Amino acid sequence: MARAGSAVRSTPTARFEFVEIDRLHGHEGLQPALLERLTAEIKRDGYLKRPILVANGDLVVLDGHHRLEALRALGCRCVPAYLVEYFSDVVRVTTWPDAVVTHVTKEEVIRRGLADDRFPPKTTRHTVLMVLDDHPTDLEDLM
């Protein structure tokens, strides 16, 4: 279902860019142990392997909350991201099999992100129906 006033697009659209960390809104909580492991891995490797996924316009993080917060902990000012037209049919949202919440909508993801009313960690599972390259990025380019 499209948000009021937005057109549903069937053409795949994703734009790669570097986004200032402070402009982004998370919609899910974090798992501290996973965040700690990922932060150590990124620091050790010296680069981020894959961009995060972000709703264009609202700048709500769809996938990559732990990557985002690991970069923040490492002192980065920006993050590589694919910005997608979230209300298009290119992006689908479901829940993970073990999630506490069993049903989510795109509208609820955006609302929670903008209100800082986060779902429990690993609730939403976003699928993008197009290929998004890994695009490894050196940490020093994100400072």
Map tokens 């970069």 to a residue.
Answer: 71
User: 125 forms bridges with which residues in the sheet?
Assistant: 94
For the chain, the maximum distance between any two Cα atoms, rounded to a whole number of angstroms, is: 45
| CA dist 136 → 71, 80, 82 (Å) | 14, 9, 13
| CA dist 96 → 57, 72, 101, 112 (Å) | 25, 25, 9, 18
**Could you give the residue numbers annotated as active site?**
28
Map tokens 């990557």 to a residue.
Answer: 67
Helix or strand or coil: residue 90? coil
First to last CA, the chain: 38
